[in-house]
Amino acid sequence: MTTTDRIVRVRLSSVLLPLDTPISDAKVLTGRQKPMTEVALLFAEIDTADGLHGLGFGYSKRAGGRGQYAHAREIAAELLGEDPSDIARLWEKLVWAGASVGRSGLSTQAIAALDIALWDLKARRAGLPLAKLLGAYRDSVRCYNTSGGFLHASLDEVLANATAAVGRGIGGIKIKFGHPDARVDLARVKAVRDKLGEDVPLMVDANQQWDRPTAQRLGRALEEYALTWIEEPLDAYDHAGHAALAASLDTPIATGEMLTSVAEHAELIRAGAADIIQPDAPRIGGITPFLRLAALADHHRLQLAPHFAMEIHLHLAAAYPQEPWVEHFEWLEPLFNERLEIRDGRMIVPDRPGLGLTLSDRVPGWTADSCEFAS
């Protein structure tokens, strides 16, 4: 049966969400970046003639959020009058509307919010959670917390945060690495492992701060802690270096969050640079390209642990054939009325249609600009 429904309205909002505490990882301690004080979000809301509604979002940390919003404003009207079910074709149409600025990075990140809104709308039309629309393999996903382990936090704070997270039912703990003094890194991971014991999955994330010899040396030093993975030990585009580490260490290597297209991830996979791939749907252009990448990753028998945006990635991870992980960050919770349930080390896929999200009444206070296109 064909549908006669059509998109009649697209609304975009540029939202600047303040963080309670300035956030520092290795990129800050080594002078590459300043502490992060806010998350910039691009929200897209799509309405159809039949009264259906879809909500999607993308984000940027530090610079880039306003640029995403500006690009989305230029192309959003291309959706008016279109059948919202034709998501892959609409993704291509939006890409070609801004073809001169490329098919990766900021240009496709601007498309991500629109693409995610279309998938949310499609699942709501079907009356299904997005995970069920895609074809879920499970109704919950292993989850680990990252927000409590940043380098701006003292060791005592990291230990308290980790203990509290496990107490709330979160399954694993990731702490940030890449301190200018490697002895500080090693002391932190030893203390966390000693505190949590051997049974709690533990990961470390160096945020691209090591050179190859340092990564090899510290990777060997970390073997005794039975880590679930070492994340981004090298520059995100050093596929050969990551591949060498993956081949030489017992500890799995995870990377991919900084890549901004399926093509970039394909090069990473081709090089054998990761045991665990960490794509970010808003960064690579939305759910449509994420699904293409997930099929490629599964073909190569890679584990999956999507980066950030648990509100989206929970559904996508639930639809991945192999047992994945999803990353717990509470930062975006003030934006939504709903909360994701966590129990026995796993994040539960909500039974609400679509992503299962509605915007909270606090969002207008953080909205820097908005615009609307209507037919």
**Alpha-helical runs (H) found in 208-350:** 212-222, 239-248, 262-270, 281-284, 287-299, 310-318
Q: Supply the residues annotated as catalytic.
A: 176, 307
Residue 117: exposure state from Cβ atoms within 10 A (0-12, 13-18, ≥19): buried
For residue 31 the two structure tokens come to: 């002078």
Distance separating alpha carbons of residues 267 and 331, to the nearest angstrom: 31
Distance separating alpha carbons of residues 27 and 175, to the nearest angstrom: 14
Tokens 């998501």 sit on residue: 87
Q: Which of 252, 305, 253, 254 is nearest to 280 (CA)?
A: 305
3-class secondary structure, 208: coil
Q: Which of 104, 102, 108, 47 is nearest to 72 (CA)?
A: 108
Which DSSP symbol is given to 34? P
Continuous segment of H or E residues that includes residue 29: helix 26-29
